[in-house]
Amino acid sequence: MIEGERIQSEIIQKIRSGGQTELGMIYEEHRKEFLHWITKEYECSSDDGKDIYQLAILIFYDNIKQGKLEHLVSSVKTYLFGIGKNIAKDNRRKEKKFTPINQEKWLKEYLIDEPDQVMDENTFNFAKKALEKLGQPCQRLIELFYYENKSMQEITEAMQYKNPETAKNQKCKCMARLRKLVDQEIEQNPNAVTHEAY
Amino acid sequence: MLLPMKPTEKDIALLERYFDAELNEEETKYFASRVEQDEDFNALVKREKVIIGAIRNQGLLDNLAYLKSIEEKIEGDHAIPFYANFKTWHYYSAAAVIVLLIAVKFLFPSQQQTSEQLFTSYFKAYPNMFEPTLRGTNEITNRTEAFQAYEHGDYQKASLLFSELLKENREPGMLLLLSNANLMLGQVSEAQKNLVTLIEESDELDIQAKWYLSLSYLKSGDKENARKMLKELGETEISYASKAKELLEKVD
């Protein structure tokens, strides 16, 4: 393995096993160059450029966490610029000209685009409300599992559980509570209409 | 909207093992046939996918908030620090109350997006003024780790540790930072609970708590309570707040 590939592979490994600290490091490393490039290339403001950069970093991070990105044929920088380019192009295609990106909406749509993902918007919104009601440490635990893709061993260490079995039991209990809270939200809104594949 | 039929424990176990990628070949076939033939089970699987989607969405939003806090820090390095000490905090918060009062009054086109935008514009996490972490400190305790995590923007870790520490000793400063961490993580109702407790229990940090409570109301789209709280803040003794109210009445 040549030196460049080894470094890229180490970065990916570090992000996969890491968390927000690694996310922050990557963000700071390429920020200046990315903003300089995107504002020139797409004639957008610095704030719009930052919005795109933040999305690009989140997608890069998510791809690694979900195991979609295991090897880089190019550098992290090239990969990030590529994602940024796609986001900016997509935005321009939809709006005909460059318009500020609604990051929250964009991130919601990013999840819908996943294969086999059929979303019911009402249930999604109820689930978001239920998640807020779920509180800590449940919220953190299930986020570590489903978003950060951490193993039970890693969760045990991060959340100081006795062993992976305890962590797994706790995760099952949290999910059961969350499902119950979602049901309660649905029961309180019996007239909500289901919209699949929004 | 109809609830799916109450699932059996066996179905829930099957569902969880599917989403945790633990099914063997035979079980996977059985799972697929159930999805195809059993409408209720199919609805259950779809709902679980949406719930997991919501969890992942929350993770993305938490990390987005984290990146924004880094961005703020980078930008802040080139600007005058917003909070230098308690005295200047009062000064700046008073000025912010004026602007926010005016913004709430005149710029609210009754869209939740606008209150969210106001929140984003005005919310800055309260700095750790209570226990500044020092480089080279040898003793690492949960307490130092909590404050360090907060300073480094690791709000998830800070929130966990603060919650634990507060069970032993209810320190107002820690409660204020916990509620700020809650807001950074998008846990609005938790932040509100903590801020209300802080207002009830602390005479020293109640103004700060009210400021963040008003912002949390904006975050949740509760304009009425945001207005009430901002009005109350405008009526306190903090510099410029009363003038803000006076000016607001004149503009009206």
CATH number at residue B225: 1.25.40.10
| Within a domain: B133 | yes
Secondary structure class of A120 (helix, strand, coil): strand
Residues of chain B contacting A175 with CB distance shorter than 8 Å: 16, 51
Residue ending a domain, among B107, B141, B163, is B107
β-bridge mates for residue A120, sequence order: A196
Same domain, B166 and B243: yes
Same domain, B102 and B169: no
Model confidence at B85, in pLDDT bands (50, 70, 90)?
very low
| Within a domain: B69 | yes
Whether residue B1 and residue A118 make contact (CB cut-off 8 A), yes or no, is no
Same domain, B80 and B132: no
The residue type at A45: S
pLDDT value at position B53?
93
The residue type at B25: E
pLDDT value at position A180?
94
What radius of gyration do chain A's Cα atoms show? 19
Residue B63's nearest CA partner among A98, A11, A143 is A143
Q: CA-CA distance, B178 to B196, in Å (whole number)?
A: 13
- Is B151 touching A (CB cutoff 8 A)? no
Structurally, chain B folds into a number of domains equal to: 2
The reply to whether omega before A137 is within 30° of 0 (cis) is yes
CA of residue A42 relative to chain centroid, distance: 24
β-bridge mates for residue A196, sequence order: A120
Q: Which of residues 22-81 of A touch B (CB under 8 A)?
A: 23-24, 27-28, 31, 50, 54, 57-58, 61-62
**Model pLDDT for residues A7-17, shown as the tens digit of each residue:** 777 888 888 88
Q: What domain range is B100 assigned to? A: 9-107
Question: Residue range B138-161: average pLDDT?
Answer: 84
pLDDT value at position B210?
84
Residues of chain A contacting B21 with CB distance shorter than 8 Å: none
Model confidence at B84, in pLDDT bands (50, 70, 90)?
very low
Residues A23, B154 contacting (CB under 8 angstroms):
no
Q: CA-CA distance, A151 to A145, in Å (whole number)?
A: 7
Same domain, B76 and B119: no
| Within a domain: B42 | yes
| Within a domain: B4 | no
- B43 CA: distance to closest CA in chain A (Å): 11
Least CB–CB distance from B67: residue in A54, A123, A183: A54
Residue ending a domain, among B74, B107, B140, is B107
Same domain, B213 and B96: no
A interface mutation test: which of B3, B20, B50 has the most A CBs within 10 A? B50
Q: What share of chain B is helix, strand, coil (3-state, %, to 5)?
A: 75, 0, 25
B28's enclosing H/E stretch is helix B25-37
